[in-house]
Amino acid sequence: MSSVEFNTLLIGNADFLKPFAFTLTKDAEQAKDLYQETLFRALSNQEKYLEGTNIRAWLFTIMRNIFINHYRKKLKHRMVAEPSASDFFINYQQHTVTNKAASNLQMKDIHVAVYHLPNIFKKPFMLYYEGYKYFEIANILQEPLGTIKSRIHFARKILKSQVPRQ
């Protein structure tokens, strides 16, 4: 299809885009911009149009995709640049002091709970806690891999039930 034929086809089928652009944007100026950008993209991508296909559907798709892309850009920009009431607290440089007493008490509770675990659960759990992999623990303790996984699972379960949550 020649450029002249394509331009004639495009101009003859472009009028229906104006109401669709307004439906998408709900603003007359943005609708004009969307309409113009759609026609520009259609002209610049003329080689992608297959002769005999529905040009209106092709133009609708171009317009819809342009609108969606602009909408997504606007959302990203709004999320990054829109000021809020809590910006004061985000930008406020305040030095905080952590209270280690509560965490120290919780760690003490955890150590006591681990100490009171039955040996069958304590050994695999402590090895896992120290960074050994399941298969390494199984080799060290000469136990099947599934048994080690099970014992560590039950040790965690026991610890969760015994250590109070803060």
13: left (phi over 0), alpha (psi -120 to 50) or beta: alpha
| CA dist., res. 32 & res. 34, Å (int) | 5
Give the mean pLDDT of 106-111.
80
Q: Give pTM, 2 decimals.
A: 0.46
The residue among 101 and 128 whose pLDDT is bigger is 128
The mean pLDDT of 135-151, rounded to a whole number, is: 93
Q: Is 51 helix (H, G, I), strand (E, B) or coil?
A: coil
Q: Which residues contact 68 (CB under 8 A, 6 or more apart)?
A: none
- The total of other beta-carbon atoms located within 10 Å of residue 83's CB is 7
Q: What is the mean pLDDT of residues 54-80?
A: 84
**79 vs 74, higher pLDDT:** 74
- As a whole number of angstroms, the distance between CA 111 and CA 91 comes to 39
Average pLDDT over residues 79-94: 59
Q: Which has the minimum average pLDDT: 12-16, 62-66, 86-90?
A: 86-90
